[in-house]
Chain A
Amino acid sequence: MSDRAAVEAAIADAHGREWARVLAATARVARDLDLAEECVQEAYAAALQSWVSAGIPGNPAAWLTTTARRRAIDAIRRDATLRSKLPLLVAPEDEVAMDDVIIEEPGEAIPDERLRLIFTCCHPALAQDGQVALTLRLLCGIPTADIARAFLVSEPTMAARITRAKRKISVARIPYRVPRPAELPERLRAVLAVIHLLFTAGHTAPSGAALVRADLVDRALHLARMLRELMPDDTEVRGLYALLLVTDARRATRTDAGGRLLQLKDQDRSRWDGSALAEAHDLIVGGLRAGPPGRYVLQAAIASLYAEAPSYDQTDWAQIVALYDVLLEVWPSPVVALNRTVPLAMTSGPESALAEVERLEAGGRLAGYHYLPAIKAELLSRLGRGREAAGCYREAFGLAANEAERAFLAGQIAELAAT
């Protein structure tokens, strides 16, 4: 007998921590993502009764996996026609023999199939919005309604997106396996992009009142940590995790008590998460030593230099510009070039930074990106060109959709009008 409240807590904990492991192992047997999801949900529901009467098992994930896999096998045996009309999930190399699964007892080691699930959810043949939705649904076990809310679409729209992605996996036979080494860099890029996108969508919510959507940020961190555990030797995996740690270490100070946006120079550094910064620091140093650094290691190194300075004024701007130069070679993105103008203004003065911003503006690839007029306004304001600065802030205000950012920009406009 276990206390019901303790069992409920254990189930919630196993849901948050072990959903992906249980589902990934079940999908391998069910060879159908819908059936696997159904069986895993049933296993979590069955756990409540069973754990109250028999006690919480030593290895909850193994108990849940065995239960879910048994249910999947029962469902397949009971009625083959119950299975969806779609083709079965292709799990090449080594098909699982039914009897191997059947004799499995709780407590036995359950094979970790999470990497298969990650790479299947983030297969480049799926649209990115589908990759993101599947990742949240299958790897984090988030209900469709909550995913829909996080991305501000209706539940039927999100459900259709998930169904479409699952159908493509099945009909086009996207295999349920870890890519071969030759394919791995390209395939891993897609996985890292999905986790990064989830994080940025949470870090500065594209719209809405709150600056941060903590739920998405936490899921992204959870996924990045999971991937790091599964692929500990990959420097870009470590780099992404470090980038998220550093960026999120400042979460508490990015807005004031009233929810108003605070610029980096006005944030209280003593409230940054020092242990997260230290953990990231070690990952970054290792990543930079491991050979030519990739995009995420470099981004993490830049974010870390910003965060490790004792004060804003003591930031090592020259080193940050140098890292941006390397990053631009690895990842020639206009957004990176724009962000580089911020430390550039400190090393070479606002005038040369402004010239660079104007060059990017003329390039046209950042049209509609509200950070460009916002950065330009800041530089103009520093150069004493207040009227032009106000015009740029107004342009940024018109393009920004997040309420905290809009309020900040409105404040800048009012300040310039007052001087």
Chain B
Amino acid sequence: MAQYAILLYADDSAHAPEATPADLEPHNRHADELVRSGSMITAYALTPRDMATSVRGDTITDGPFVDAKEVVAGFYVLEAPDLDAALAIARLNPVLRMGGGVEIRPVHSSWAPEQEPATA
């Protein structure tokens, strides 16, 4: 098994402070499915692009690092036997039906405070 990070790209994150449960419902339902399938290891939903702050060199700016139509709206890590399996799971993400997309990146290594350093 290998770990893949799935980066979700969308016009903006659905997880705004004023987001309604209906806004979040498709994302939460998909997350529940991933949890049930046992493939998801960890997941983060990010706040909208207006909340982002970027630092390049010694300059601090308001907004996402890359000035593009889409931003990283969130990411999660899943465990899969190979790229085809990871692609099959990533393609189910609701952002793909909302004009967004996903990027699949094989994980090299990871670390979390409650565990020993781990290699994927």
A residues apposed to B, CB below 8 Å: 87, 90, 92, 123, 125, 171-175, 177, 179, 183
B residues apposed to A, CB below 8 Å: 2, 81-84, 87-88, 104, 106
Whether B2 lies near A173 (C-beta < 8 A) is yes
Whether B81 lies near A90 (C-beta < 8 A) is yes
Complex CA distance for A172 and B104, rounded to whole angstroms: 9
Considering residues A90, A172, A174, A177, which has the most beta carbons from chain B within 10 angstroms of its beta carbon?
Answer: A172
Query: Cβ of B106: which chain A residues have Cβ within 8 Å of it?
Result: 171-173
Query: A87, A171, A174: which contacts B84 (Cβ < 8 A)?
Result: A174
A-B contact count (CB 8 A): 28
Jot down 21 A-B pairs with beta carbons below 8 A, ordered by A.
A87-B2, A90-B82, A92-B82, A123-B83, A125-B83, A125-B87, A171-B106, A172-B83, A172-B104, A172-B106, A173-B2, A173-B82, A173-B83, A173-B106, A174-B84, A175-B81, A175-B82, A175-B83, A179-B84, A183-B84, A183-B88
Complex CA distance for A393 and B106, rounded to whole angstroms: 50
Query: Cβ of A90: which chain B residues have Cβ within 8 Å of it?
Result: 81-82
A91 and chain B: residue at smallest CB distance? B82
Query: Cβ of A92: which chain B residues have Cβ within 8 Å of it?
Result: 81-82
Complex CA distance for A183 and B87, rounded to whole angstroms: 11
B101 to chain A, nearest CB (A): 14
A130 to chain B, nearest CB (A): 14
A171 and chain B: residue at smallest CB distance? B106
Complex CA distance for A123 and B106, rounded to whole angstroms: 16
A144 to chain B, nearest CB (A): 25
Query: Cβ of B82: which chain A residues have Cβ within 8 Å of it?
Result: 90, 92, 173-175
Complex CA distance for A175 and B88, rounded to whole angstroms: 13
User: Which 9 residue pairs are nearest across A and B when measured between Cβ atoms?
Assistant: A175-B82, A173-B82, A90-B82, A172-B83, A172-B106, A174-B83, A173-B83, A173-B2, A175-B84
